[in-house]
Structure 1
């Protein structure tokens, strides 16, 4: 079975590696994909650890985990990545995350901002 994030690799070869190493990814897109898989798995600890401390919604962790468990995740489509490579210190990833809730398919469309600090990528929030 392919990884939850939509690559052709298995979860064990893909996002599980990042889930086990506390989000040490090479690129912003890898971090975004691993965060999507963490939503699928309702891994609130990983979502908090990879969310930049300046925007981390620590008080909302339980509500986020509860919601991720209440929906059925369908698929992730990465639409565009700007910067966010090994040599960058910032980047954006635009994506659609599809999920099934209340009897219908819905989508989260987001252009996410990422920042690299101390060789670790972090999710900042919506890109402005």
Structure 2
């Protein structure tokens, strides 16, 4: 048995309904009419994976609770609707001082989505802590 099992169904048009591990439902629509597009889901998934990875990285640097983390994601598409860039603008409640960049980089190493993307699509991360 695989670690992740997904059944995706498209009855017509461009809307795909997926059931993940027999439990979670996700609707993705290439036209963004009935749900987010695959690129929109990828951008949200990247941030959703990076935030917990960032928390683990901060913990490894001695910050046991960094408080609220908010990530605004911007992704750019080319004329073929292929992702060409992703940027994260992060706000972190705890002041991380001189450890900010080290925590960002360790978070990248821990994030599974970051590891899965080709290098030119790795997020350009700007961080402001102590907000």
TM-score where L is the length of structure 1: 0.33
Does 1 or 2 have the higher relative contact order (CA < 8 Å, sep 6+)? 1
Larger gyration radius, structure 1 or structure 2:
2
TM-score where L is the length of structure 2: 0.33
Q: Which has the higher helix share?
A: 2
